[in-house]
Amino acid sequence: MNDKPREDTNPAAVGHLHIATERPERFTHATPTVDDVGRHAGVSRQTVSNVLNAPHRVRPETIERVRIAINTLGYRANHHARNLRTGTSRAIAYRIPPVAGHLNSVMDTFLHELTEAVEAIGCHILLFASNDLDGEISKYWELSAQSAADGVVFSETERDDRRPGPLLERRMPFVSFGRTWGTQEHSWVDVDGRAGTRLAIDHLLAHGHRRFAWLGPRNPGVVNDEREQGVRSTIAAAGIPAADLHVVSLRDDATADRKAIADLLDGPDAPTAWVSMSDLQALTVLGELEARGIVPGRDAAVIGFDDSPVAAYAGGGLTTIRQPITAVAKTIAQLLSAQFADPNSDPQGVLLEPELIVRRTG
Amino acid sequence: MNDKPREDTNPAAVGHLHIATERPERFTHATPTVDDVGRHAGVSRQTVSNVLNAPHRVRPETIERVRIAINTLGYRANHHARNLRTGTSRAIAYRIPPVAGHLNSVMDTFLHELTEAVEAIGCHILLFASNDLDGEISKYWELSAQSAADGVVFSETERDDRRPGPLLERRMPFVSFGRTWGTQEHSWVDVDGRAGTRLAIDHLLAHGHRRFAWLGPRNPGVVNDEREQGVRSTIAAAGIPAADLHVVSLRDDATADRKAIADLLDGPDAPTAWVSMSDLQALTVLGELEARGIVPGRDAAVIGFDDSPVAAYAGGGLTTIRQPITAVAKTIAQLLSAQFADPNSDPQGVLLEPELIVRRTG
DNA sequence: AGTAGAAATATGATCGTTCAAATGAACGTT
DNA sequence: AACGTTCATTTGAACGATCATATTTCTACT
């Protein structure tokens, strides 16, 4: 008869998280509250709270006494109570990009750096998955309604991205990694792709190269456009005819890519300087060069993109264009922080410069 | 005089998240509460709560009425209020592994799959970063004290891992991806490395190979021991002398690795069947084979590990041993769920079988 | 010494939800 | 028709923190 209500409740909890009713079971070490700490230090709740949130209001000796009590009892503020009262969550939502077909490691590095960067502003990352864009957008709505997240970061932007609209409407602070090239203003951080390829080409020009190849994606987007334009404009500025630049459209198929590269190498006026949109495909170029006895770094140059782990590992060190991911993450955290401090602050866009990591291949 | 208290509070909030005091500013769409929904549907708070958490207690018509009110008002339960009351957080903490030097993509895939898997049990992933093991452990303590996480998942286990101890002591539910080979019992999910290499070797034997190479890490650990043992025992079972197995210790240096592989290839009785601890190094083998006119998949076989994106892309398709990461994540979520339901349930270890993905190279 | 004003600390109310217990409605049984 | 049961719904209390405000203590000045 006594456990009737529990019996009654359990079926409803199927598929949900359900903690057994006897709470003491789980909390071997009773979790102390502000009251406990206050009692121990001979002060009130609020003074303890002030020590944590507004220490300038409290007399130094009192602070010391409270601090000791906190350490003795091992007190930590309950997140939910605090967040409920203050209406914040100190959480930043991020949709983890789907795994399928991302050949670059930038997003993984970014997530790591972002986690560290938001910790510096007293927040943490709340991850969620979503199959489509609509799911992602409605998730933002939901998180906002549940006050489960104070801010949002999203990546893999596209032209006229649909995400800023709903977020702005909900007045949910957010920063995108990547421009959205839309009409609505919002904060973003991005890497200057044009500057990246310009760095690479300038470097190659300085080493005497005159015949170039740009390996871009099969379906070019805004990102590729900028990078390719950086290649073109730098070459043009050096007085080299546009015909001396070959553009290869890569596929997701190594055999096809390899053949395209081989054809170019075996054709007339083969390029000696190769710049690729990604490290992995640069490795394919290396393979083809070596197969022909052409030594990368001496007879030819190959430059990749992203400085992924393979770049440092393979081919005796691949020269590559590194995106400043740490700086991107830190800047995003700062822009978020600014929006938290003043929800009406003006949106800000920050374009960061990539860096050329010179190794052996170029 | 009116804004004095605000002036007084702000400095304390430096470096913290501080939401401006006028709350209506941020919440354009006023966030409805259970009371609002109840009023709209002509029922009480609690009935709304019951519709959400224990619908079997509520009359169908009432449920319908409340559901309509919920949709009309766009109500979503406030996470913090709920969590405060129930003492749960529906969050699972995961330390995002450091980026430096992880050449495999398994961890990234795992994080994605884990995010999806815990969503299925009504939870989300709370990410944190930490430089060392002590930081990680004290973070677990902190999250538990703040009741910021209900459970923990950790990966990259090592022999006699120090993490289970404190977590067990705190009675914090957790599941590790990887065995810890320690004395304390706890739930874990792992992939049977021995079975993986056995699959590979059996496949190679069936294709007539008799001279093998195993590419293992420079500093072998428990993971490699198992995999290598799978290679050895399977070879032995086929009646092949142990001398026909060459073991290469890979370094984090492609040039050195390439040379070690080349030496083996150019030596007497060169192996025709290569199994590598990672896809990336398998690619190096492919390169060396091709440089000698040996066609992988015909004259020789190369099998990688992990089925990373490079495997499908490169070399016309690398045969590889795939770890069932989706199943790992799902199993972890289930084991966590079991611990939530009954904190005293017995710990459980699950060993999953890898799969051989046969492509062109073997 | 007395007092105004500031500084330090304490008290009551509140955030939005669920729990526990109480009340009210519906139902079958004798 | 009265009654005990079960079902449906409501009410008061609590989770643990911070806000707003009240109270006490200290400091400086006349």
Taking the CA of residue A165 and the nearest CA in chain B, the distance in Å comes to 15
How many angstroms separate the CA of A12 from the C1' of D5?
23
Distance in Å, residue B47 CA to nucleotide C22 C1': 15
For B187: left if phi > 0, alpha if psi spans -120 to 50, otherwise beta; the answer is beta
As a whole number of angstroms, the distance between CA B118 and CA B124 comes to 6
* B236 phi/psi in degrees, rounded to 5: -60, -40
Considering only CA atoms, give the Rg of chain B.
27
Cα atoms in the 13 Å half-sphere on the side-chain side of A112 = 17
CA-to-C1' span, A79 to C8 (A):
27
DSSP A263: H
CB-closest option in B108, B128, B253 to A119: B128
Contact with chain B for residue A4, Cβ under 8 A = no
For tokens 């893999």, the residue is A156
- Which of B12, B31, B343 shows the shortest C-beta gap to A54? B12
Q: Say whether B341 and A18 touch across the interface (CB within 8 A).
A: yes
pLDDT of residue A2: 33
Determine the straight-line distance between the first and last CA of chain A, rounded to whole angstroms.
Answer: 79
Place A25 in a pLDDT band, splitting at 50, 70 and 90: very low
d(CA A153, CA A175): 5
Question: What average pLDDT score do residues A170-198 get?
Answer: 96
Å: B9 CA to D27 C1' = 23
Query: Which residue's CA shows the smallest distance to C1' of C14?
Result: A85
- Please state, in angstroms and rounded to a whole number, the distance separating the CA atoms of residues A179 and A168: 15
Contacting A residues, span 149-178, partner chain B, CB-CB under 8 Å: 150, 169-171
Stated pTM of the model? 0.90
Q: Is the CB of B84 under 7 A from strand C?
A: yes
Nearest to B343 among A9, A26, A111 (CB): A26
Residue type, B219: N
B28, B108, B313 member nearest A171 (Cβ)? B28
What is the nearest CA distance from A57 to chain B, expressed in angstroms? Answer: 9
Per-residue pLDDT reduced to its tens digit, A189-212: 999 999 999 999 999 999 999 999
User: The tokens 């929006």 sit on which residue?
Assistant: A339
Q: Does residue B300 reach within 7 angstroms of strand C, measured from its CB?
A: no
Answer whether A81 sits within 8 Å of B84, measured CB to CB: yes
Of B125, B147, B169, the CB nearest to A80: B147
Instruction: Give Cβ neighbours of residue B209 (< 8 Å, ≥ 6 apart).
Output: B272, B273, B301
Instruction: State how far the Cα of A78 lies from the Cα of A80, in Å rounded to an integer.
Output: 6
Strand C bases contacted by the protein (CB, 7 Å): 7-12, 14-21
Give the distance, in angstroms, between residue A46 CA and nucleotide C12 C1'.
12
Dihedrals phi, psi of A138, to nearest 5 degrees? -70, -25
pLDDT of residue B104: 67
Contacts of A74 (CB under 8 A, 6+ apart): A29, A32, B145
Give me the mean pLDDT over the A290-301 stretch. Answer: 91
> How confident is the model at residue B251, as a pLDDT?
86
**pLDDT recorded at residue A23:** 32
The sign of the dihedral angle between the CA atoms of A181, A185, A190, A196 is positive
Q: List chain B residues with CB under 8 Å of A317.
A: 254
Q: Spell out the residues 6+ positions from residue B192 whose beta carbon is closer than 8 angstroms to its own.
A: B226, B351, B352, B353, B354
Q: What is the reported pLDDT for B29? A: 56
Which residues numbered 106-125 in A keep a CB inside 8 Å of some CB on B? 108-109, 111-113, 115-116, 119, 121-125
Q: Rounded to a whole number, what is the distance in angstroms from the first to the last CA of chain B?
A: 80
Residue B103, pLDDT score: 60
Check whether residue A89 has its CB closer than 7 Å to nucleic acid strand C. no
Q: Identify the pLDDT of residue B317.
A: 87
pLDDT tens over chain B, length 362 residues: 333 333 333 333 333 333 333 333 333 457 999 999 999 999 999 999 999 999 999 999 999 999 999 999 999 999 999 999 999 999 999 999 887 655 667 898 999 999 999 999 999 999 999 989 999 999 999 999 999 999 999 999 999 999 999 999 999 999 999 999 989 999 999 999 999 999 999 999 999 999 999 999 998 889 999 999 999 999 999 999 999 999 999 987 878 898 999 999 999 999 999 999 999 889 889 988 988 989 999 999 999 999 988 887 776 789 999 999 999 999 999 999 999 999 999 999 999 999 999 999 98
- Beta carbons of B96 and B125 less than 8 angstroms apart: no
Q: How far is CA A196 from the centre of its chain?
A: 18
- Rounded to an integer, the average pLDDT of A338-358 is 96
CB A139 within 8 A of CB A95: yes
Phi, then psi, of B24 in degrees rounded to 5: -50, -30
With an 8 Å Cβ cutoff, are B78 and A84 in contact?
Answer: yes
Query: What pLDDT is recorded for position B11?
Result: 33
Strand order in A355-357's β-sheet? A245-250, A212-217, A273-276, A301-305, A319-322, A355-357
Q: At CA B112, angle to CA B109 and CA B147, rounded to 5?
A: 130
DSSP code, position A100: T
Q: With contact defined as beta carbons under 8 Å apart, do B188 and B350 qualify? A: yes
Mean pLDDT over the full length of chain A: 89
- Evaluate if residue A17 carries a pLDDT over 80: no
Query: Which residue intervals of chain B are DSSP H helices?
Result: 4-9, 23-26, 34-41, 45-53, 60-73, 79-86, 106-120, 133-145, 164-169, 193-206, 222-237, 254-266, 279-291, 309-313, 325-341
Closest-approach residue (CA) in chain A for B101: A309
d(CA A162, CA A136) in angstroms, rounded, equals: 10
Averaged over A6-12, what is the pLDDT?
34
Alpha helices in chain A (DSSP H): 4-9, 34-41, 45-53, 60-73, 79-86, 106-120, 133-145, 164-169, 193-206, 222-237, 254-266, 279-291, 309-313, 325-341
Distance to chain B for A193, nearest Cα, Å: 23
Q: Which residues touch strand D (CB under 7 A)?
A: A 31, 33-35, 45-46, 48-49, 52-53, 75, 77-78, 81-82, 84-86; B 5, 9, 21, 38, 42-47, 50, 56-59, 61-62, 81, 84-85, 87
Burial (0-12, 13-18, 19+ Cβ within 10 Å), B306 = buried
**Burial class, B229, CB count within 10 angstroms (exposed 0-12 / middle 13-18 / buried 19+):** middle
